[in-house]
Chain A
Amino acid sequence: MRTAYLDHAATTPMHPAAIEAMTAIMTAGGNASSLHTAGRTARRRLEEAREALAHQLGARPSEVIFTAGGTESDNLAVKGIFWARRDSSAQLCRIVTTPIEHHAVLDAVQWLVEHEGAEVTLLPVDADGAVSPEALRAVLAAHDDIALVSVMWANNEVGTIEPIAELASVAAEFDVPMHSDAIQAIGSVPVDFAASGLSALSVAAHKFGGPAGVGALLLRRDTACVPLLHGGGQERDVRSGTPDVAGAVGMAAAARIVVDGLDAHAERIGALRDRLVAGVLADIDDVVLNGAGGADRLPGNAHFTFRGCEGDALLMLLDAKGIECSTGSACTAGVAQPSHVLIAMGADPASARGSLRFSLGHNSSDADVDAVLEVLPAAVERARQAALASAGLGR
């Protein structure tokens, strides 16, 4: 059976050039902290990767902290900057964030609330999931205890792009550091760290064709950050541990490909996505496209609510037909929870359960869109009947 992979927001296949670059490093060996020839060679590759990644993302090489992925980058930024700010002034204990962040941010914040006495203010989001700079300004004006602001660049479920530069400029007015989880944005929209005005920005390689288990935190030199991992003092003492040279090289190679090809890629998958959305809205009744429209949406994202359906039933029916997509979020036991993102956007739990995300990526094709449009109407019909059958059972 031919499968149509439409879950690139979960992870996207590695670019062959990234695999090639990594493989070359893996055969070479060497610890980048060692002083002999092997070490020097590894260190040179690591620093080249740092320079390349920095160049692609508008950062200085010294601002790149390599990590083991997006979750670590988010945790390091949220906890590390919180601790550093509180160390500088004990009253700085408030984190301003949004209810639609990835759990890597939300749960790190919650942990700080439970264990470190942090306070939280959640910024409101509109029905599309967008945060307004005015709302941030109001919160910053109302509190003098803010340690940091964290707002994602683009939402992983509904694809809405946040006005990061405007938000960062508001944060700067109040002299509060701002972090952004840009994990879904890189490779889909232009991301320039310096131009953004952010203090910190999270990167995950596997979302743009690099290897899983590799990421980075872009961190301004003047933003203090207490480390999570203590040890050998690598990565300017913010992130100890023997660096994953091959991973860093693979990430840098992928970044080069996606940043260089950004405009053409966004135009191509944006057109595919538009065809998918138009087809779904035309062929199926009672369906809603969630998230922002036009330029405020990631080009590869299509997120729908099919009224009267349970998303996990729909997911199974599509899986059986070779369509690979996602309900957006799942816990480790695999129980579908109503999406916290949709709930924050004002959806009721029942319709939040009936949602599916299709996310397109670099190897998506017209055939993938055709496959979805061929299978989806009947699957939705069947899932709706199943929901009725379950609901009809007497209690």
Chain B
Amino acid sequence: MRVLVAMSGGVDSSVAAARMVDAGHDVVGVHMALSAAPGTLRTGSRGCCSKEDAGDARRVADILEIPFYVWDFADRFKDDVIDDFVESYARGETPNPCVRCNERIKFSALAARALALGFDAVATGHYARLEDGRLRRAVDADKDQSYVLGVLTAQQLSHALFPIGDTPKPQIRQEAADRGLAVAEKPDSHDICFIPSGDTRAFLGARIGVRPGAVVDAGGAVLAEHDGVHGFTIGQRKGLGIAGPGPDGQPRYVTGIDAETGTVHVGGAADLEIHALVGERPVFTSGVPFDGPVECVVQVRAHGGLADAVAELRDGLLHIDLRAPLRGVAPGQTMVLYRPDADGDEVLGSATIAR
């Protein structure tokens, strides 16, 4: 097969590329330039699109003796991921930009270009397993990234490859070292790649501006003023600008955000509990929509936020009854549904949480 490997310059995609070469494929490495103004120097370990990361990826490709190119997706990334992220926050939602990037960039724009140029598949360094169209959690539970891939359609998955999902991360690092790849010791990237400072609130503030509003309790009493709902996310406890705990002596959390009025609602931990979810834009991994109620496990965050549930598709929306309550669920987050399996939970589908 002709395989294009998306090479970020990190250890995971480097080993993915090496494994594709070992498997006998005709491999080309592509680094996606996602920043319109890539930095010239690394700032900490963050980012996936600096010149230095492109250089690291190129160095690995040279060692693997595969062609390597940098493809510019900066305009598309800005439109589909960064602007979407900002607009979503401005609406009082909590988006996951990595999900968006996989959905719109890596397995859409990049894949479309790759296929049109004669490639058969796109491989990435994601920790997930994909066999016969079945997407499952990675062997390394701590590193599992099936959640951020849960939005991919059967068609998108049909030409995707995840060569490292069967291996724990420490072994991937060891393998990189054994192969003589200089990226073996490169730190993991954790933060949002387009916010290298890590300060999401400042990033959003610079783009959304000041949109003052009130922090109110369940009784409607105004507890504080704020500079914009984009500074808040459901379940947040710190930085609310209110003096101390509630009248019951318990901590208070953001329980709701109304972007239109600029109101941030706060309440006790019990008010955060959600017993049902509704998801829009559902995606079914097998390509076949649910018919009737489906027993599953729902996950609402990249790490954690799991609950047993029953999912049902009605009028194009996924209705989820939770067997146990979830806390801190915000509109805009992605929910991914899994079929529990001792051999690795299988992704059934996903949707964007509407309420």
Q: Which residues of A contact B (CB under 8 A)?
A: 312-313, 315-317, 319-320, 332-336, 382-383, 385-386, 388-390, 392-393, 395
Contact = CB atoms under 8 A, between A and B. Distances in A.
Nearest to A395: B79
Q: Choose among A335, A392, A395 the residue with the greatest number of B CB atoms under 10 Å from its CB.
A: A335
Contacts of A389: 112-113, 115-116
B60 to A, nearest CB: 14
B287 to A, nearest CB: 19
Contact of A316 (B67, B80, B112): B67
Interface in B107-146: 108-109, 112-113, 115-118
Interface in B84-127: 108-109, 112-113, 115-118
B28 A316 contact: yes
A383 B117 contact: yes
A395 B116 CA distance: 18
Nearest to A319: B67
Given A390-B112, A393-B108, A393-B112, A317 B51 contact: no
Pick from B31, B72, B117, B118 the residue with the most CB of A within 10 Å. B117
B353 interface: no
Contacts, number: 58
Given A312-B71, A316-B28, A319-B67, A334 B113 contact: no
A320 to B, nearest CB: 7
Given A317-B117, A393-B109, A393-B112, 8 more contacts: A312-B69, A316-B67, A316-B69, A320-B28, A334-B69, A382-B117, A385-B116, A389-B112
Contacts of A316: 28, 67, 69, 117
B335 interface: no
A333 B38 contact: yes
Interface residues of B, number: 24
B113 A390 contact: yes
B54 interface: yes
A390 B33 CA distance: 16
B193 interface: no
Interface of B: 28, 31, 33, 38, 51, 54-55, 58, 67, 69-72, 74, 79-80, 108-109, 112-113, 115-118
A332 B39 CA distance: 12
Nearest to A389: B116
A313 to B, nearest CB: 6
B80 A395 contact: yes
Contacts of B67: 316, 319-320
9 contacts: A316-B28, A316-B117, A332-B55, A335-B74, A336-B70, A336-B72, A386-B113, A386-B117, A389-B112
Contacts of A390: 109, 112-113, 116
B31 A334 contact: yes
Nearest to B117: A386
A287 B51 CA distance: 33
A347 B33 CA distance: 24
B163 to A, nearest CB: 22
A382 to B, nearest CB: 6
Contact of A333 (B28, B70, B113): B70
B48 to A, nearest CB: 13
A392 B69 CA distance: 23
A278 B38 CA distance: 40
